């Protein structure tokens, strides 16, 4: 049973001007599709075939580099598309807002910490808002296609929001201006989906 590239819930141009159309086309259709196909090739005929992606990532230290990189790439991008929306932006409400205020002091303080994590990740990787093992929220970043679900993660937890800071995620529109891309990402964050993931975590 193979993993499938998820469809986007919006058009490629729907996140303009924050995330440009061409980047979305290449990022979803080429990069995410590539991770998906390579993950399937890496698990075909092994005992990982048929396991959930969460299961695979939770024991990723036992698997090959191809499973780690492409399994992470498959999961991370699936989450990434879902936490963006053309109707996004603004601030969270309800329980999630209260948890963010409790963990970081305020939404602005959270944003500062998240932007710092995304901005200081050297090279390629991701920044995350996670529900930690003790149920509290934390911000962290991971290299390459790693994520907090992996047993190799320095910041274990359940990611509920993530931003891709690989250059392929922003270079066409922002070139080397990663901080501008991270700031723009806040205009498209789908806080309803982040709240749904928070409640489920």
Residues binding Mn ion (CB under 5 A): 31, 164, 166, 169
Closer residue to Mn ion in complex, CB, 31/51: 31
Task: Compute φ and ψ for 61, nearest 5 degrees.
Answer: -65, -20
Q: Helices 178-185 and 107-120 meet at what angle, rounded to 10?
A: 140
Minimal distance in Å, beta carbon 76 to Mn ion?
7
- Give the residue closest to Mn ion by C-beta: 164
How far is 49 from 47, CA to CA, in rounded Å?
5
Closer residue to Mn ion in complex, CB, 32/195: 32
Closer residue to Mn ion in complex, CB, 99/163: 163
Minimal distance in Å, beta carbon 35 to Mn ion?
8
Closer residue to Mn ion in complex, CB, 100/189: 189
How far is 163 from 185, CA to CA, in rounded Å?
8
Cα 185 to Cα 1, 7, 50, 119: the distances in Å are: 34, 20, 34, 13
Closer residue to Mn ion in complex, CB, 3/166: 166
Minimal distance in Å, beta carbon 152 to Mn ion?
19
Phi-psi category of residue 123: left, alpha or beta, with phi > 0 → left and psi -120 to 50 → alpha: left
Minimal distance in Å, beta carbon 200 to Mn ion?
24
H or E segment and range at residue 169: none
How far is 135 from 167, CA to CA, in rounded Å?
32
Minimal distance in Å, beta carbon 69 to Mn ion?
12
């Amino acid at each position: 049973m193979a993993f499938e590239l998820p469809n986007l819930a919006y058009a490629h141009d729907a996140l303009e001007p924050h995330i440009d159309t061409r980047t979305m086309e290449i990022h979803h259709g080429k990069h995410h599709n590539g991770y998906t196909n390579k993950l399937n090739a890496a698990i075909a005929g092994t005992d990982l075939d048929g396991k959930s992606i969460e299961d695979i990532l939770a024991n990723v230290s036992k698997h090959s580099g191809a499973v780690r990189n492409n399994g992470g790439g498959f999961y991370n991008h699936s989450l990434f598309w879902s936490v963006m929306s053309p109707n996004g932006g603004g601030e969270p409400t309800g329980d999630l807002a209260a948890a963010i205020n409790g963990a970081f002091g305020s939404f602005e303080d959270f944003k500062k910490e998240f932007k710092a994590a995304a901005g200081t990740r050297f090279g390629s990787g991701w920044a995350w808002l996670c529900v930690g093992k003790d149920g509290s929220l934390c911000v962290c970043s991971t290299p390459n296609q790693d994520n907090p679900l992996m047993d190799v993660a320095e910041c274990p937890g359940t990611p509920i929001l993530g931003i891709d800071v690989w250059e392929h995620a922003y270079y066409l529109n922002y070139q080397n201006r990663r901080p501008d891309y991270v700031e723009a990402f806040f205009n498209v964050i789908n806080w309803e989906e982040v709240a749904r993931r928070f409640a489920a975590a």
